[in-house]
Chain A
Amino acid sequence: MTWRRRFRGASAGYLLIAPALAATVLFLVIPMVISAYWSLTHYNGIKPPEFVGLQNYLDVLGNARFQKAFENTIAFVILGMGIGPALGLGSALLLDRALRLRGLFRSAFFLPTMTSLVVVATIWKFLYSDAGIINAVLGLFGLPGVNWLSDTTTALPAVVVTSIWQGFGFETVVFLAALQSIPRNYYEAASIDGAGRWAKFRWVTLPGLRPTILFVYVIGIIGSFQTYDQIFVMTNGGPIQATRTIVFDLVDRFNRLDLGGASAVAYILVVFLAVLSYVQLRIGEERD
Chain B
Amino acid sequence: MIRARRLAAIAAAMAILVGACGGAATTAPSPAPSAPPATDQASAAPSEAASASPAPSIDTTPVTITVWDYYGESTPVKPALAGFQKEYPWITVDYQALDWDSMNQKFTVGVSSGEAPDVATLDMTWIPTLAANGALEDLTAMSGGQLNGKPIADQYTKGALDAMTFGGTFVTMLFDFDTYALYYRADLLEKKGIAVPTTWDELRAAAKKLAESSKGSGKPDRYLYAIRPNTFHFSQFLFEDGGTILNADNSKAAFNSDAGVAAVDIQKAILDDGSGLYWPDANNDLTPAITSGQVAMFSDGPYYMGLLKTGVPAQAGKWKIALNPSVKQPGSYLGGTGLGIPVQAKHKDAAWLFIQYMLRPEQQVGVFTYAGAAPATTAALESPELTKADPYFGGQSPFKVFLDTMATSSHFPYVGAWSEIDTFITESLQSALLGKATAKAALDDAASQTDAALAK
A residues in contact with B9, CB < 8 Å? 11-13, 15-16
Q: Given that A27-B24, A240-B427, A255-B108 are known contacts, is A46 also in contact with B343, CB under 8 Å in the complex?
A: yes
Contact, CB under 8 Å: B280 / A239: yes
Sort chain B's interface into a size bin.
35 or more
CB-contacts of B117-174 with A (<8 A):
129, 133-135
- Say whether A100 faces chain B, with CB atoms less than 8 Å apart: no
Contact, CB under 8 Å: A15 / B13: yes
Q: Given that A19-B17, A22-B17, A46-B135 are known contacts, is A12 also in contact with B108, CB under 8 Å in the complex?
A: no
A residues in contact with B134, CB < 8 Å? 44, 46-47
Stretch at the interface among B47-55, B205-213, B429-437: B429-437
Contact, CB under 8 Å: A19 / B16: yes
A259→B133 CA distance, assembly (Å): 12
Interface membership of chain A positions 6-27, coded 1 if the CB is closer than 8 angstroms to chain B and 0 otherwise: 0000011101101110110011
Q: Which of B6, B104, B282, B419 lies in contact with A238, CB distance below 8 A?
A: B282
Q: Closest residue of chain B to A241, judged by CB?
A: B427
B residues in contact with A16, CB < 8 Å? 9, 12-13, 16
A residues in contact with B436, CB < 8 Å? 152, 240
- Say whether B111 faces chain A, with CB atoms less than 8 Å apart: yes
- Say whether A135 faces chain B, with CB atoms less than 8 Å apart: no
A residues in contact with B28, CB < 8 Å? 27
Contact, CB under 8 Å: A255 / B113: no
- Say whether B278 faces chain A, with CB atoms less than 8 Å apart: yes
B residues in contact with A150, CB < 8 Å? 278, 280, 282-283, 434
CB-contacts of A114-141 with B (<8 A):
129, 131
Interface membership of chain A positions 251-271, coded 1 if the CB is closer than 8 angstroms to chain B and 0 otherwise: 000111101000000000000
A residues in contact with B24, CB < 8 Å? 23, 26-27
B residues in contact with A151, CB < 8 Å? 434
CB-contacts of A143-173 with B (<8 A):
147, 149-152
CB-contacts of B4-26 with A (<8 A):
5-6, 8-10, 12-13, 16-17, 20-21, 24
- Say whether A235 faces chain B, with CB atoms less than 8 Å apart: yes
A residues in contact with B85, CB < 8 Å? none
Shortest Cβ distance from residue B281 to the other chain A in the assembled complex, whole angstroms: 8
Contact, CB under 8 Å: B6 / A239: no
A11→B2 CA distance, assembly (Å): 10
Shortest Cβ distance from residue A229 to the other chain B in the assembled complex, whole angstroms: 13
- Say whether A236 faces chain B, with CB atoms less than 8 Å apart: yes
A239→B281 CA distance, assembly (Å): 10
- Say whether A45 faces chain B, with CB atoms less than 8 Å apart: yes
Shortest Cβ distance from residue A29 to the other chain B in the assembled complex, whole angstroms: 13
Q: Closest residue of chain B to A8, judged by CB?
A: B2
Q: Given that A16-B12, A235-B282, A240-B430 are known contacts, is A44 also in contact with B112, CB under 8 Å in the complex?
A: yes
A152→B437 CA distance, assembly (Å): 13
A124→B214 CA distance, assembly (Å): 27
Q: Closest residue of chain A to B14, judged by CB?
A: A19
A13→B17 CA distance, assembly (Å): 14
A150→B430 CA distance, assembly (Å): 9
Contact, CB under 8 Å: B6 / A257: no
- Say whether B362 faces chain A, with CB atoms less than 8 Å apart: no
Contact, CB under 8 Å: B105 / A255: yes
Q: Given that A235-B282, A241-B427 are known contacts, is A255 also in contact with B104, CB under 8 Å in the complex?
A: yes
Give me 21 A-to-B residue pairs in the complex whose CB atoms sit less than 8 angstroms apart, sorted by A's number: A12-B6, A12-B8, A15-B9, A16-B16, A19-B17, A19-B20, A27-B28, A44-B133, A44-B134, A45-B113, A46-B135, A131-B288, A150-B282, A150-B283, A152-B436, A239-B282, A240-B430, A255-B104, A256-B129, A256-B420, A257-B108
Given A16-B16, A255-B104, 18 extra CB contacts under 8 A: A11-B9, A12-B9, A13-B9, A18-B13, A18-B17, A22-B20, A44-B112, A44-B134, A45-B108, A45-B133, A46-B133, A129-B283, A236-B281, A236-B282, A238-B282, A238-B427, A257-B108, A257-B111
